[in-house]
A = this chain, B = another copy of it.
Amino acid sequence: MKSFRTELTFVTKKKCEFINITRQIARALEQSGIKEGLLLCNAMHITASVFINDNEPGLHEDMEKWLQQLAPHDPASQYRHNLAGEDNAEAHLHRQIMGREVVIAVTNGQLDFGPWEQVFYGEFDGCRKKRVLIKIIGE
C-alpha cells in the first residue's frame, strides 16, 4: 500500500467564498503515483467545508444566500457561541450543511468522477490562513 499527503492553503478576500480545487486535487493525485485507491480531501478548520457540486457561479450565490437563511449571521447575539467574544457561530453551522470532507475513488490514476463533479473549498469565516488536507491511499 502506498500513501501520500499534501496540504492546500487559502486566505480568502471575503468572509464567505467558494473556490474550485479540482485541478489541485488532480495534481496531488498525479504526484502520488497512486492508480487505484481512495482520496480523502477535508477542511482542516471547523468553519470551512470541502464539497462536490456544480461549477456554476449563480449556484454559489444561491448557496451563500440559502445558508444565511438557514443560519443567519445577524443578530450575532442569538448564538451562545458568540458570547465568548467570537462572532462566527453561523459559520460552524454552515459547515455542517456543506460537510467537512469528500472521499473520491481513484481509478486508473484518475479522479473517478461523473460528468459534472467538481470539488470546492467552502470558506465561511475567511480573511485568514486556512488549510485543506489531501490524503491518498492505494497502489
Instruction: Give residues in A with beta carbon < 8 Å to B.
Output: 1, 3, 5, 36-38, 40, 42-46, 51-54, 56, 58-59, 61-63, 66, 70-71, 79-84, 89, 92-93, 95-103, 105, 107, 112-117, 131, 133, 135, 137-139
| Residue contact B105 to A5, C-beta cutoff 8 Å | yes
Which of B43, B53, B80 lies in contact with A95, CB distance below 8 A? B53
Tell me which residues across on chain B come within 8 A of A45, comparing CB atoms. 114-117
Tell me which residues across on chain B come within 8 A of A54, comparing CB atoms. 46, 81, 92
- Contacts A46-B53, A62-B89: A96 and B96 contacting too (C-beta < 8 A)? no
Specify the chain B residue showing the minimal Cβ separation from A56. Answer: B81
Specify the chain B residue showing the minimal Cβ separation from A43. Answer: B114
Specify the chain B residue showing the minimal Cβ separation from A134. Answer: B105
Max chain B C-beta neighbours (<10 A), residue from A59, A61, A107: A59
- Contacts A80-B62, A103-B103: A112 and B96 contacting too (C-beta < 8 A)? no
Tell me which residues across on chain B come within 8 A of A103, comparing CB atoms. 40, 42, 101, 103
Tell me which residues across on chain B come within 8 A of A139, comparing CB atoms. 1, 3
A133 to B112, CA, bound (A): 9
